[in-house]
Amino acid sequence: MANISGDKNIESVDYNAIEAMESFNKFVKKKNTFLFSITAAFLLLYILLPILAFQPVLQQKVFGNITGVWVYSAGLFIMTIVLCTVYVKKAASFDKAAAAVLAEYHAKGGK
């Protein structure tokens, strides 16, 4: 079973050296840009619901008696599933990038 409390074993990792690597910074920047732009987008779409819900635009009936607020909410459910799938795919590529950074670090002689 994984021993997650043994931080002392890896004192030898030179964090400064990794942090100074160009490939590391490029990867982190790319990752954070992706994470925060998507987060900003879904939070905006989300918080528009309680704002627009009280406006005529979402109070109109869309299908039969189903009003706009329900349709918008359903859209947010679908958005959640879609963005979840997008993240899982994208994260796999981030994992590869992180592994590449560490491989580069080890290749340079880091422990």
First-to-last alpha carbon distance for the chain, in angstroms, is 23
> Minimum distance from CB of 104 to another protein (Å)?
11
List 44, 81, 107, 109, residue binding another protein (CB under 8 A): 81
The answer to whether the beta carbons of residues 67 and 60 sit under 8 Å apart is: yes
> Minimum distance from CB of 91 to another protein (Å)?
6
Question: Using CA atoms, how far apart are residues 21 and 66, in angstroms rounded to an integer?
Answer: 55
- Residue 6, classed as helix, strand or coil, is coil
List 26, 33, 57, 76, residue binding another protein (CB under 8 A): 76
Residue carrying the six token digits 């074993």: 9
- Residue 67, classed as helix, strand or coil, is strand
Helices assigned H by DSSP within 1-111: 15-20, 22-52, 56-59, 68-107
Q: How many residues bind another protein (CB under 8 A)?
A: 57
Which lies closer to another protein via its Cβ, residue 22 or residue 63? Answer: 63
Give the binding site for another protein (CB under 8 A): 1-7, 9-10, 13, 15-16, 18-19, 24, 27-28, 31-32, 35-36, 38-39, 42-43, 46-47, 49-51, 53-54, 58-59, 61, 63-67, 69-70, 73, 76-77, 79-81, 83-84, 87-88, 91, 95, 98, 101-102
